[in-house]
Amino acid sequence: MTTRTLISPAQLARPRGTFLYWTAFVLVLVVFTLVFIGPLYWMVTSGLKSPQEFARTPPTLVPEEAHPGNYADAWGVMDLAKLLGNTLYYALGALAFQLVLDVAAAYSLSKLRPALGNVILGAMLVTLMIPATVLVVPQYLTVLDVPIVERNLVNSPWVIWLPSVTNAFNIFLLKRFFDSIPRELLDAAAIDGASPLRTLRSVVLPISRPILGVVSIFAVVGVWKDFLWPMLTLPDPGKQTINVGIYSLAASVTENWLLAALVIASLPTLVIFLVCQRHIMSGLTAGSLKG
């Protein structure tokens, strides 16, 4: 089942080819592990060191004396429970808003086809072409005083939730997936007397699980990784996300505590990744260029 690549199987089958293959393989394996896991290893172990040991040169590879208490101290001193809780709250809220509003919009644009639907879709896709950073300033001014409703959203969760819906890429991904659902299936539901909402719930959504999974993961990870927007719009330390909170506390705690905090902050997204890696990787390649 191997597909042909640069190096021919005949070449690989020769003793010299086999030797070179395995040498290169082991080399790459070691180098990649060092380059990509090494920093994480350093982060975890440095979080275990005492301040004296952390500052020592040359650095110790394995902590001479492990202080797991650093993690508990960092947790308490930096109030990580609060920061993680905030981030989770924002992420789940953004997920809910995106799933409900973006799925509904994509379904409407794909299957209900309202008048001017293509214009609306086009206007949504245009936002993908405007560099996001250009919009940060006017977006910030907008949430300070939202027009018509005249609300200041700063320091409220809405400031994360509502703008997260304006994810044209998600809508596009979902619409393309819905487009691929055969018409007959929906027509059958309609003949059985199902309303559009019912059809969405009992026909479209169950088939769409893979794409919903991808969109959900990206929604949660997006909030978890965002930095500039929450830094601007959540200045209250009690309401900050883990990224912003750790950044603003970084200068005031010792290094070993800070590193312990970084490990704790990294765990949720790493766990999501390790659990959902197949979804993430397929979504990444499906959405990026076939789109």
Partner 1 sequence: MSAPALSTRQAPPPAPSPGAARSPRRRAAFRQALKRNLIAHGFLVGAVLCFSFFSWYPMVREFFLAFEKREDGATVWAGWSNFTYIFNDPAFWQAWRNTILFTGLALLLGFAVPFVVALVLNEFRHGQGYLRLLVYLPVMLPPVASVLLFKYFYDPGYGLFNRILGAVGLPDQQWLQSTDTAMLSVVIAATWMNMGGATLIYLAALQGIPGELYEAAELDGAGILRKIWHVTIPQTRLVLSLMLLMQIIATMQVFVEPFLLTGGAGPEGATLTVVQLIYQYAFTFNNYGSAAALGLVLLVLLAVFSAAYVRLSRVSEE
Identify the residue among 17, 93, 157, 196 touching partner 1 (CB under 8 A): 196
Judge whether 91 and 223 are in contact, CB under 8 Å: yes
Q: Is 5 in the site for partner 1 (CB under 8 A)?
A: yes
Q: Is 145 in the site for partner 1 (CB under 8 A)?
A: no
Residue 138 CB, nearest approach to partner 1 (Å): 4
Cα-to-chain-centroid distance, residue 135: 21
Q: What's the CA angle centered on 100, arms 144 and 195, to 5 degrees?
A: 135
User: Which residues in 261-290 contact partner 1 (CB under 8 A)?
Assistant: 262-263, 265-266, 269-270, 272-273, 277, 280-281, 284-285, 288-289
Stretch that binds partner 1, among 69-77, 88-96, 134-142, 205-213 (CB under 8 A): 134-142
- Toward partner 1, which CB reaches closer, 66 or 225? 225
Identify the residue among 48, 99, 220, 242 touching partner 1 (CB under 8 A): 242
Residue 137 CB, nearest approach to partner 1 (Å): 5
Residue 27 CB, nearest approach to partner 1 (Å): 10
Judge whether 151 and 266 are in contact, CB under 8 Å: no
User: Which residues in 71-130 contact partner 1 (CB under 8 A)?
Assistant: 97, 100-102, 104-105, 107-109, 111-117, 120, 123-124, 127, 129-130
Instruction: Kindly determine how many residues on this chain lie close enough to bind partner 1 according to the rule CB under 8 A.
Output: 109
Identify the residue among 65, 225, 238, 275 touching partner 1 (CB under 8 A): 225
Pairwise CA distance, residues 104 & 94, whole Å: 15
Q: What's the CA angle centered on 173, arms 169 and 177, to 5 degrees?
A: 165
**Of the candidates 208, 203, 139, 149, the residue with the CA atom closest to the CA atom of residue 176:** 208
**Of the candidates 44, 108, 45, 198, the residue with the CA atom closest to the CA atom of residue 206:** 198
- Toward partner 1, which CB reaches closer, 207 or 280? 280
**Continuous segment of H or E residues that includes residue 207:** helix 205-207
Other residues' Cβ atoms within 10 Å of the Cβ of residue 45: 18
User: Which residues in 24-63 contact partner 1 (CB under 8 A)?
Assistant: 24-25, 28-29, 32-33, 35-37, 39-40, 42-43, 46, 55-59
Pairwise CA distance, residues 183 & 177, whole Å: 13
Pairwise CA distance, residues 210 & 195, whole Å: 24
Please spell the DSSP secondary structure of 57-108, one letter per residue: SSPPSS-SS--THHHHHHHHHTTHHHHHHHHHHHHHHHHHHIIIIIHHHHHI
Identify the residue among 155, 232, 253, 254 touching partner 1 (CB under 8 A): 232
- Toward partner 1, which CB reaches closer, 29 or 66? 29
Q: Is 191 in the site for partner 1 (CB under 8 A)?
A: yes
The interface mask with partner 1, positions 155-174, x = CB under 8 A, is -------xx-xx----x---
Judge whether 280 and 217 are in contact, CB under 8 Å: yes
Identify the residue among 16, 62, 119, 131 touching partner 1 (CB under 8 A): 131
Residue 155 CB, nearest approach to partner 1 (Å): 16
